[in-house]
Structure 1
Amino acid sequence: MIELVGLETVEANSVERLLDRAFGPDRHGRTAYRLRAGVAALPGPSLAACDEGALVGSIQLWPVQFTGDDGRRVPLILVGPVAVAPDRQRDGIGRMLVAAALARVPNEPLMLIGDPEYYGRFFGFSAEHTAGWRLPGPVEQHRLLARGDAVPTGPGSVGPRIAALA
């Protein structure tokens, strides 16, 4: 039976090994890693899925910020990565993790880089407001998704939300 626990209660090396298995050791070069550079994952909504004590999945949420070309600063939460052990994929663990994490941040503006069909269908994310957003690396624009009433629109940059900017 799957148990969801705070990610901060799980050994960090176990999470890193899971991420390597799910995404490959070259994952650190992806744009999403640049978005969360220098900040820690949010405790509380970041979760681990354990089955009889074994880590089988994780989700991390990160503080990021949209800085509009007009000077607006809007705090956002970056959802991901969502990792599931390869031998447990298609068991519904990823969907369980996303649903539980999102329930812990119900009124926050959220963003992620992911499959628009999946995240749109199950969780209400869309690229409707993100067309003008710039990230610190390449991204397929249709995969840049957001959700929430306070999601900003218009041109601007998204980057890590460090304490001085929070």
Structure 2
Amino acid sequence: MSDVATLIPLDNVDPVLVEQLLDRAFEPGRHQRTAYKVRDGSDWLPALSFAAIDGEEHLVGTIQCWPVALTDPAGRAHPMIMVGPVAVLPEHQGMGYGQALMTASLSALSPDAPLPQVMIGDPEYYGRFWGFTNAYTGGWDLPGPFEQHRLLVRCANPAVLPKEGMLGPWRG
């Protein structure tokens, strides 16, 4: 990542530019992915969502976080924060933008009452840098197809995590 790269709050960026970046980073059919169903109908959290701007003042990456909940078999909703998508333009990948966006987002969490963070991603990568794991998500389900080993969680006290449940939008 260039020395002159800047991270700014995502709500300072034109939403059209964000959508164009997401299309380039993932593909226009990205709305069919399971992660979109998990957060359907909710708005991303401005305090935890950022944009990466390169030295030429171009948008090169974004991260969004969303309010979600894991509903246990008894019907209790356990609020969580869904991290992602973490999106970087293909020609800027491998330059540290994604790591900077992840670190900024997770650093913005309140240390007083941090909710568990959940994501769909590579367990080795997100585990090594930020402590995400799939050790507690084996009994969790999503509203669509997914690879169980890629469902990750990060939590200060894993004892509070339900063993089973369905992840979906927070309706609280």
What band does the TM-score fall into relative to the shorter chain? Answer: over 0.9
Structure 2 unaligned spans of 5+: none
Measured after TM superposition, the shift of residue 108 of structure 1 is 2.2
Aligned-residue Cα RMSD (Å) equals: 1.1
SS at match of 2:51: strand
Q: Does 1:7 align with 2:10?
A: yes
Measured after TM superposition, the shift of residue 111 of structure 1 is 0.2
Residue in 1 that maps onto 2:52: 49
Report percent identity of matched pairs.
52
Single out whichever of 64-73 and 79-88 deviates more from structure 2: 64-73
Residue in 2 that maps onto 1:134: 141
Mapped to 2, the partners of 1:138 and 1:155 lie a distance apart of: 17
TM-score of the aligned structures, taking structure 2 as reference length: 0.91
Q: Does 1:93 align with 2:97?
A: yes
TM-score of the aligned structures, taking structure 1 as reference length: 0.95
Single out whichever of 49-58 and 112-121 deviates more from structure 2: 49-58
SS at match of 1:44: helix
- 8 Å Cα contact 1:108/1:150 also seen in 2: no
Structure 1 unaligned spans of 5+: none
Query: After the TM superposition, which residues 62-77 of structure 1 pair with which residues of structure 2 at under 5 Å, given as runs?
Result: 62-77=66-81
Residue in 2 that maps onto 1:28: 31
Query: After the TM superposition, which residues 93-112 of structure 1 pair with which residues of structure 2 at under 5 Å, given as runs?
Result: 93-105=97-109, 106=111, 107-112=114-119
Mapped to 2, the partners of 1:147 and 1:25 lie a distance apart of: 29
Task: Give the one of 131, 138, 153 matched to 2:162.
Answer: 153
Aligned residues: 163
